[in-house]
Structures are given as structure tokens and as C-alpha cells.
Structure 1
Amino acid sequence: MKQLAVLLLLLAASLPVMGADLLETYQQAKANDPGWRAAQAGRLAGAEKAPQGRSLLLPTLGLSAATSESDQQVIMPSTTNNYRYGTDSYNILLTQPLYRKQNFAAYAQGIAGANIAEHEFELARQDLILRATLAYFDVLAAQDVLDFAVTEKDAIGRQLALARRNFNVGSATLVDVHEAQARYDLVAAQQITAANDLEVSKEALRALIGTAPAALARLESRIELQPPDPADMEQWVQTATTQSPRLKAQQETLEIARQEVERNSGGHYPTLDLTASRAWSDAGGSVQGFAIESTTNQIGLQFQMSLYQGGGIASRVREAAARLDETGQRIEQTRRQVAQQTREAYLAVINGMARVQALEQARLSNERALESTVIGYERGLRTGVDVLNAQRELFRTRRDLSQARYGYLISRLRLKAAAGVLQEPDLEDINRLLAHKQ
């Protein structure tokens, strides 16, 4: 029984390691991730689409100035005169569009472009939450696999030593020794692989947060399994079709395509502008032989209308109409993809809960099976190979349970991301399941 106690102690789950938690890692990612910084710059750039479109509806004011020197020779029947003089001038022109169909459409496109930038920024923010959580849990999962490999190797090492001792006294066969040695060597190789996988996961996290990750807070030994709220898949789909930033951006793209039809069709419409100007000229001489200074103020309306451009306007209208139809079909495609992803994410949460519960029960069953096998081995009813097999099944179950727990938590976030409602408080809920620093 002493051997049983030692063995079960080795198989017990290790205590959570205190360290940087998920929220701290997410904040580091917000400060250092190049993808997030690019999204911030893209948002600022996209926001300028609105004032650029609005500028087409506002007045324009231009100033021009010139200075020149003139050298004139005037030949007349009775005389020849030479004149040299300088001329200074300036002109100020104010133009206020009164009716330009193209400009109204371009203004609407600018508003839609700015909205797209906002939706894409929101999509990038939700993506950062997912990427930070995935990178964080990848490190924890890799650390779990390494811990399980180390613990399993220690347990098999003890079993190998016991098999050798029993073989020397004649109570075990050489098969037990060879099987234990083979299992030990296999787990040693698995430990090397697990250690490498852990370093790879840490490097992926380093690329996200810009620095080498410190020790990370681990999951509590037990987590509360929460079903989706509301527990109705179609309600989640309905939310996704109205809240998804990806779908909202596509809808703004449709508005841009619709206004592109209006903008091109505006080539058939007249334009009307209000103009006001002031022109001043000071000539130091003239053919009359005296200086001339003049100031002219004008205000009026300017009307323009294209009558025929070789069919180019009609062709551009047809092209824009076809693009509009194409964009509409893209939106329908996106809507179906969003609905599909939401349903898959919902099912992943439900199945993740069931898998965690099943593996929790399987772990308890495997622990009892190992205990019974060890007792049978001590009484000569079971072989060392039976003990090794029971150990292997227990460690596999513990590894699968660890992966299932992380997968379940990620599925919760993915469901909200698919529905377009993932927020930082959702990350805080996950963070509460970690063992925090004291």
C-alpha cells in the first residue's frame, strides 16, 4: 500500500503556478502587437473618408497671382514705338457647388468608407482577444503536456525499478522489465517533444506581446461549465446577422457600390455652381503709353451639362450596376458563412461541455482502475504490464481533459466573436478561472 500511495501522489494534479494572468497578457498584446497597431492606424485612415466626401459639398477658394515684364514694339505707318513695362495681377475665385449629383454620391461613399473602418477596427479588436487567449492557452496546454510527461516518466521509472527488483527475487518476469524499460524510453522521448512544443508556444506568445512571457497563471483544478446564454442556437444566429462587424462592413460596401451607380449616372446630369471672383491687375504701361490699373468683381452662376461622351457614361453606369449585384451576392455569401460559423461555435460549446464532463468521469474511473491494478499487482493477480497500461490510460485521459478544458473556454469566446458581441468583460470572465498571484 505504501507503493500505491507514492504512485497516486505522483499522479496527482500539480498545483497551479502563479504568474501573469490572461488580462495582463491581453494588455501587453494591445500595447505591442503590430497587427493591432496596424488596425488602429487603419481606423484613423478610414475615418478621413467622411471629411473627404463632405469637402465635395463645401465651397472652394483659390488664389492665383502673377508678375511679368513686357517689351512691345508697335510699328505704325508714320512711326515706330517701343514700350517696356511690368504687370502685376492676382485673382481670387470662390466656387460653391449648388447641384452636383456625383458629389452627393461621393459624400455618401465617404460616410460608408468611414463606417467600414470602424467595423474593421471592431473586428480586429475581437480578433486580438481571440489571438491573445489562444496563444496564452497554447502555452498552458503545452506546459500541461510536459508536466504529464515528466510525472508519467517518474511513475514508470519507479515501476521499472520495482520490476527489476522483483525480477531479481524471482517474483517478476523479464517481460515486465523490458516492457517497463520500453515505456520509460518512449515517455522520455515524448518529454523531449513536449519541451520543444512548449518553447514553440512561448515563442508564438512572445511574437504577440513583444517580450518573453513570464510564468503564466494556470487554470484552477475545476472550472464551472456554463452553457451558452441564451441556450438557443437560432437566437445566436439572429444576433450574428445583425451584430457581426464583418457583415456590417459588407453592408457598408454595398452602400458604396450603390452610390457608385449614382455617381456614374450623374454624368448625364447638369452641374450648377455659384461663383464669385475678384481680379486685380496693375500694368505699368500699354500701347496707349500710360499705365492701367483695374479691379473686377464678379458673381454668377455656372451651368454645365455633358451632351455626349462616346457612350462612356452609359458604360460606366452598367459596370457599376454589375458591381452592385456582385457585392449583393458577396453579402449573401458572408451572411451564410457567419450563420454557419455561429452554429458551429454554438455546437462546439455544447460538445465541449459534454466532453469535459465525460473526461472528468473517465479520469475518476481510470484512477480507480489504476488503484485496483496496483493492488492486484501487489497480490500477484496482475502483471507489471497491466500496471503500465493503466498508467498510460490515466495519463492520456488527463492530457485529453486538459485539452478539452482549454477548447471549451476558447469555444465560448469564439461563439461570441462569431455573433459579433465579444467584449473585454468576456475575457475577464475567463480570467477569473485562473489561479492568480497572491
Structure 2
Amino acid sequence: MNRWISIGIFFVFSVPASGDDLLDLYRQAKTSDPAWLAAQAGYQAGIEKAPQGRALLLPTLGLSASKSESDQQVTLPMASNTYHYGTDAYAIQLTQPLYNKQNAAVYAQGLAGANQSELELETARQDLILRTSHAYFDVLAAQDALDFVILEKESINKQLTLARRNFAVGNATLVDVHEAQARYDIAAAQQITATNFFEVRKEALRVLTGNDPGTLTRLETKLDLQGPEPATMNQWVETAVNGNQRIKSQQEAVVIARQEVEKSRGGHLPTLDLTASRAYSDAGGSVLGFAIESTTNQIGLQFQMPLYQGGGISSKVRESVAQLEIASQRLDQTRRQVAQQVRESYLDVINGVARVQALEQARNSNERALESTVIGYERGVRTGVDVLNAQRELFRTRLSLSQARYDYLISRLRLKAAAGTLQEQDLEGINRLLAHKL
């Protein structure tokens, strides 16, 4: 047996890939993913809080009109009269708040709520990038695992055929045959599992895009392994603390809670409104026996001062102060969680670079080890079991390397997401690594 042929069947060669790439799937997810579409609707709802709060500071104008018929009987000591007449009336009133602490607090809450909605939308956008990338690379990893199992099964089958032939001529033992058969049966079972897992991963991607994923573009270029830039962990943490959308959103939540305290305290304070009105009435009759038409114009100030409301306002103040403390503690918790995520993601990138490099070296070593084992088997100094073991180690290393490459790319995206700087351009950079031959 030509040893180069026997070795070659154990290697996975890249072929030109075609199909949807990562950006294609991301664009599909932007139009189909329910979570993203819900986030957009939530944003549209949230930004309306600002004009709703502003409306409380602006004047209100109301118009009323009425038409009535009167049947009035008047009895006097000397006479009794009945009057029938109609009355038409309308009134228009303008009210402009001059001082209302509660309305001012609601307006500030509206602005903070609108800002919070915008930040939450940005968080959802970055989450969509991560989820799409993760689902995409999960499919590729499952495809790699399936390919490796198929190739390993084919390699074992050739080794099984060779073992049977050598056993027939007395150059191999029955142990070699049985071991090769057992390995082949295991590989066949693993192929079934890998096929099912591959379909499960494709289904997860379909949930995001709303479409059945076809042939995906494979990661076929040699990775340009880069560490985080900037290279200092503390710089990433500082960037996250100042720019992470989750932290900023929680800061807006603190503003909302603080204004809720002001709104509650405003229940103790007076309000002052400017009012202006015009009223017109046209009565076709009256008890005086003749019609009355009148027009009244008024302008004035309306002052209201709450004196006692059963202690409800004081209770509301205490409640809102406690809610402010909750929001403040959650802000501190969010800062710590984000800092932890940044540190973990930073280390994942660093370790990912080292792991990929180590597994690439291990793959090269396993390839040489397999070559030496095949040569030893041809010369009678190694057994078929030794060849099978060397094959298994090579395929395991290749599978680990495949997963490590995907993990490294995801960790780069997660680091930027944790820092709050993840953009679609980062996705484009990773997408350029696809669809290139080695």
C-alpha cells in the first residue's frame, strides 16, 4: 500500500465554498428575528415618553358646546306662567401650567425613558450580531464535526479492509480485524449523532433568519490571530464602564427613579396655572319673558395647595426613595458585571490565540505521528491498532482546532460587545475570512 495514499485519506482538504455568508444571514436576521423586531417596536414605544412628558408643560385648549330645550313653569303669588325656550352655548378654555413640580418630574422621566429606549435598542442590535455569529459558527462547527466523522469512518473502513486482507494472508492478527471493526461501528454511530446535531444547529439558525439555511460559506482561510487592541485589560474595562449600553441604560433608570422621588415630593407642593376662557350663551327665553344672549371673557390664575391627604403622599415619597436605592444598587451591580464580562472576554481572546496556535502545532505533530505509524505498520513494527489510535488522535485534534477557531472569533466579538463598541464593521471583518481557500 502506498503510504502517501494511506495518509492522504486521513486529511481534510478545503474545497471552494459557496452559499450564504455571515453578512447574508445577519441581514436576514435583521428582517426576521422576533427578538430584534420586538426591540425595534419597544424603541418606537419608548421614545414616545419624551413628548408625553413634554405635553404636561404645554398649554391645553378645550372646547365645549351644548344645545338644550327648557320647559319652565314659574308660580308667583298673583300669577303662574310657563316658559318654553331653547339655549345654545359654547365655551373655550386655555390652561397653561406655570408651576407644577410633578409635571416637571414626569417630563424629566420621559426624556430619560426615551434615552433608555435608544440604549436598549443598541444593546439588542449588538446582541443580534452575537446571536447570529454564534448560530452561524455553531452550524459550521457541526458541519466540520460531521465531515470529520465521515472521513474518519472512511479511513477506518480502509484500515478494516486492509486488516482483513492481511489477516487472510497471515500478516495480521484477528485482534487487528476486531479492533478495526469496533472502531468502524463506533464511527458509524457517531455519524448518526453528528448528523442529528448538525440538523439541530441549522434549525437554531433558521429561528433567527426565518429561512432554511442552505450551504453556508465555510471558514477556510488561515486565521490572522490577533490579540485585543488595546492590549491592556484595564483600558478595555475603562472603555466599558464609560460606554457600555447596559450601564448607560441603568444610569437612565437611576434618573427615572430620582425624578420619581421628586414627583412624589411634588404632591406636597402647590400648583399654579394660568387660565383664560371665553363663554357664549344664547337663550331663546327666560323667566323675564325675553331672550338673553351673553358673552363672557375671563383670564386669571388658579392656585391649588394640598393640605392633607391621609398620609398617602408621605408614603409615596418613602416608597420612591427605596426604589431609587434599588436602582442605584442595580447600577453598581451592572458596572461590576460588565467589568467582569470584559475581563473574561479579554482573557478568552488571549487564551483563544494561544489555544489555536497550540492545536495547530498539535495537528502537525499528529500528522507526522500518523505518517510514522503507517510506515511502521508497513514494515511490521507497528500494529493496525496503533494506526487506528493515531488516526483517532489526529481527528480529535482537528475537531478541537476547528472549534477553537470559531471560539476565538466569537470571543473577539464578545469582547467588543462587553465594551459597548461592537459594530457591523466588526462583523464585516470576520466575514472577509470566509470563502477563501487555504
TM-score bracket for this pair, using the shorter chain length = over 0.9
Work out the CA distance in 1 between the residues paired with 2:374 and 2:68. 108
Q: CA deviation at 1:382?
A: 0.3
Pair 1:340 & 2:345 matched:
no
Residue number in structure 2 paired with 1:398: 398
1:140-160 CA-to-partner distances (Å, cap 9, x unmatched) read 000000100111011100000
Residue number in structure 2 paired with 1:274: 274
- CA-based RMSD of the aligned residues comes to 1.1
Work out the CA distance in 1 between the residues paired with 2:190 and 2:371. 25
Q: CA deviation at 1:16?
A: 4.6
Residue number in structure 2 paired with 1:11: 11
Work out the CA distance in 1 between the residues paired with 2:40 and 2:160. 58
Matching of residues 75-114 of structure 1 within 5 Å: 75-114=75-114
1:295-332 CA-to-partner distances (Å, cap 9, x unmatched) read 00111111111111122111111111111111101111
Residue number in structure 2 paired with 1:387: 387
Letter paired with 2:396: R
Pair 1:246 & 2:238 matched:
no
Change (3 A) 1:374 1:6: closer
Residue number in structure 1 paired with 2:136: 136
Q: CA deviation at 1:221?
A: 4.1
Work out the CA distance in 2 between the residues paired with 1:176 and 1:208. 48
Letter paired with 1:110: G
1:226-277 CA-to-partner distances (Å, cap 9, x unmatched) read 1000011111111111111111110000000000111111111111111000
Letter paired with 1:396: R
Q: CA deviation at 1:10?
A: 3.8
Residue 3 of structure 2 contacts residue 375 of structure 2 at CA under 8 Å; is this kept in 1?
A: no
Q: CA deviation at 1:423?
A: 0.2
Residue 98 of structure 1 contacts residue 274 of structure 1 at CA under 8 Å; is this kept in 2?
A: yes
Q: CA deviation at 1:166?
A: 0.2
Residue 11 of structure 1 contacts residue 152 of structure 1 at CA under 8 Å; is this kept in 2?
A: no
Work out the CA distance in 1 between the residues paired with 2:329 and 2:30. 35
Work out the CA distance in 2 between the residues paired with 1:92 and 1:300. 14
Matched positions, count? 437
Work out the CA distance in 1 between the residues paired with 2:238 and 2:13. 42
Residue 217 of structure 1 contacts residue 436 of structure 1 at CA under 8 Å; is this kept in 2?
A: no
Q: CA deviation at 1:5?
A: 2.4
Work out the CA distance in 1 between the residues paired with 2:214 and 2:189. 26
Letter paired with 2:100: R
SS at match of 2:78: coil
Residue number in structure 1 paired with 2:188: 188
Sequence identity percentage? 72
SS at match of 1:11: coil
Pair 1:317 & 2:317 matched:
yes
Residue number in structure 1 paired with 2:126: 126
Greater shift, 76-85 or 305-314, is seen at 305-314
Which runs of no fewer than 5 residues in structure 2 stay unpaired? Answer: none
Matching of residues 397-416 of structure 1 within 5 Å: 397-416=397-416
Residue 220 of structure 2 contacts residue 436 of structure 2 at CA under 8 Å; is this kept in 1?
A: no
Pair 1:366 & 2:366 matched:
yes
Letter paired with 1:348: D
Greater shift, 2-11 or 64-73, is seen at 2-11
1:55-95 CA-to-partner distances (Å, cap 9, x unmatched) read 00000000111111111111111111001111111110100
